[in-house]
Amino acid sequence: MLKEVIVVEGKGDTAAIKRAVDADTIETGGSAAGEEVLRRIELAAERRGVIIFTDPDHAGERIRRIVAARVPGCKHAFLPQEEATYKGDIGIEHAAPGAIRRALASVRSEAASKDGGEVTWDDMIAAGLIVHPDAAARRLALGKLLGIGYANGKQFHKRCTVFRISREEFGQAVSAMEAGKERGDER
């Protein structure tokens, strides 16, 4: 059984988690995470730790921000949208057990420390993650490689800072993204 409690949005997400791993969950009930739910998450964080594993969509990101702001020190699991989509509906409940296990094996902690300096706004521009015609697609690809999910430019930079992505790790992921793009162009 996982030590940490996994924060998900709803019952379908809990069912998908339980098909993949032996873990306890707390359901936020969607984007209306009330005070009682937030108190339960705080208690779980104090006693066992918490992994936030919300849907890879706007509502899921909103819940992630609310919980992370209220409960510092949470771990975060991210699932790419294509691994959580079924007939146009996006949610953890649609993910295969293997995809869920991979996401949980790659959790990011706000408390992690890395050497090599922080990713700067200039690094983001140089990598084509902002002020670039393909910035959104590049953030999507790089977010997968770094295991921090998709976000807009400002949030992506914040995630690099919060999860202490080093400039070296960032640069390696950008190089891998570029190499993957080149291989994809050759097909």
Q: Do 89 and 125 fall within a single domain?
A: no
Express the helix, strand and coil content of the chain in percent, nearest 5 each: 55, 10, 35
Q: Which of 86, 111, 136 is the last residue of a domain?
A: 111
| pLDDT for position 109 | 86
* Angle (CA) 65 144 105, round 5°: 80
Q: Do 52 and 101 fall within a single domain?
A: yes
What whole-number distance in Å separates Cα of residue 108 and Cα of residue 116?
A: 17
| pLDDT for position 186 | 40
Q: Do 14 and 66 fall within a single domain?
A: yes
| pLDDT for position 115 | 53
Q: Taking a C-beta distance cutoff of 8 angstroms, is the pair 119, 40 a contact?
A: no
What is the CATH number for 47? 3.40.50.140
Q: Do 103 and 126 fall within a single domain?
A: no
pLDDT values of the chain reduced to their tens digit, one per residue, 187 residues: 899 999 999 999 999 999 999 999 999 987 767 899 999 999 999 999 999 999 999 899 999 999 999 999 999 999 999 999 999 999 999 999 999 999 999 999 875 444 557 899 999 999 999 999 999 999 999 999 999 999 999 999 999 998 889 999 999 999 999 998 655 444 3
Q: What is the extent of the structural domain holding 52?
A: 1-111
Q: Which of 76, 111, 146 is the last residue of a domain?
A: 111
Query: What DSSP element (H or E) covers 76?
Result: strand 75-76
* Angle (CA) 166 168 171, round 5°: 110
**Structural domain tally of the chain?**
2
Q: Which of 62, 95, 111 is the last residue of a domain?
A: 111
Q: Do 79 and 44 fall within a single domain?
A: yes
| pLDDT for position 110 | 76
Q: Taking a C-beta distance cutoff of 8 angstroms, is the pair 67, 41 a contact?
A: yes
Q: Do 144 and 133 fall within a single domain?
A: yes
| pLDDT for position 111 | 54
Q: Do 90 and 123 fall within a single domain?
A: no
Q: Do 65 and 116 fall within a single domain?
A: no
